[in-house]
Amino acid sequence: VGQPQWGLEYSKVAEATCAYPVTRILWEPPSSQKNSTDLLATSGDHLRLWSLPQPTTPHSSNLNRSATANIRDPAPQKLQPLALLSNSKTPEHTAPLTSLDWNQLSPKLIITSSIDTTCTIWDIPTLTAKTQLIAHDKEVFDVRFCAGSVDVFVSCGADGSVRMFDLRSLEHSTIIYEPAEKSADKSQSPSASSPTKSQMMSQAPPLLRLAASPHDAHLLATFASDSNVIRILDVRQPGQALLELKGHQGNLNSIEWNPNRRGMLASGADDSHVLIWDLLNSQGQAAPVLNGNGNISQGQQGGDVQGKSPSASWKCEYEVANVSWAPQSALTGQGGDWLGVCAGRGVWGVKV
């Protein structure tokens, strides 16, 4: 894609100033009605919808740096605010939103999570809250729809648990993961000094982020605050983690499943590394390293844990804040997958 020595070239085409930090941003998913979109959603102080204005001058592909190096980019346009969604009678006093997810099957549905312990499902055509429920005992930090469903979603939060909900039966929820209780001899009377389950949950590290596999509805990935361990969960086996992935040397900030390859996961952390995990292929050898030019060379980043080590890694100049896979497009159609990486004040395109 473009000149191999340069990789992707980015041009700023639009921007918006937000009064509150944006906790997640997503494009509207493609549907049978429309394959491309100019619609964006952000979470933060509220759920907000934005429209990307049409460019005043046609942009080139921006993939060939040498061809565009001496061409000055036009000034970025302003994103057009379309809607502010609030389920409160006093929108100026609502609890901040920590995350959002856009339903892939039905793009008219968005779900948000909040520090007020709730999750809210929004109907975009009517700009109204469809359902709101108390999801956790403490703040909810992330929420995702499960693959292939408009009803089932999962959430994680400050109570250290991952929970699954079904909009068709909200009386019940399933705890997919929570910190393990210490095993005790049932024949003995409980000691007064033994911690209760509620006490253990109060000491559990918060789970910051959650990722639902787009290919396997039963597979989830999550990580805790101040942790370098990714936990892979199977909703069919609630309780403990199916697998723990240990390769980062710093605290994790972001994880995302590859939408184009089943069983592949990317992670970014404070160690300035992006690691690629392939759960379908056992990796016992040293992980190949992706350099900034998009080429792969052998490296030693990461260690083998339960037969799984990173299949590739990329070293950034800064601590990695966020990673996001490119969907199937003209980029991925030419072989390989592209990963967007946010770090410092920059954005990088990395070819896997």
Residue 315's DSSP bridge partners are: 273
Q: Which among 288, 294, 299 has a CA at the least distance from the CA of 351?
A: 294
Half-sphere exposure of 242 (CA within 13 A, CB side): 14
pLDDT at 64: 46
pLDDT at 339: 93
pLDDT at 57: 62
CA distances from 144 to 44, 90, 262, 268 (A): 16, 27, 18, 19
The structural domains of the chain, ordered by start, are: 14-54+73-178+203-246 (2.130.10.10), 253-352 (no CATH)
Evaluate whether 121 touches 110 at the Cβ level (below 8 Å): yes
DSSP secondary structure, 104-142, as one string:
SS-TTEEEEEETTSEEEEEETTTTEEEEEEE--SS-EEE
**Which tokens belong to 184?**
């005790």
Q: What 3-state DSSP class applies to 342?
A: strand
Each residue's pLDDT, cut to its tens digit, for the chain (352 residues) gives: 223 344 677 889 999 999 999 999 999 998 877 778 899 999 999 999 999 998 766 554 454 444 444 566 678 899 999 999 988 777 677 899 999 999 999 999 999 999 999 999 999 999 999 999 999 999 999 999 999 999 999 999 999 999 999 999 988 899 999 977 543 333 334 444 455 655 555 688 999 999 999 999 999 999 999 999 999 999 999 998 999 999 999 999 999 999 999 999 999 999 999 999 999 986 544 444 454 443 333 333 444 335 489 999 999 999 999 999 998 766 666 667 899 999 999 999 999 8
Evaluate whether 84 touches 98 at the Cβ level (below 8 Å): no
pLDDT at 195: 57
Longest dimension (CA), the chain: 78
pLDDT at 196: 60
Contacts by 233-236, CB closer than 8 A, 24 or more apart:
233/162, 233/176, 233/177, 235/146, 235/154, 235/164, 235/174, 235/176
Evaluate whether 135 touches 165 at the Cβ level (below 8 Å): yes
CA dist 24 and 283 (Å) reads 32
CA dist 197 and 307 (Å) reads 32
**Which tokens belong to 174?**
């399933």
CA dist 343 and 320 (Å) reads 4
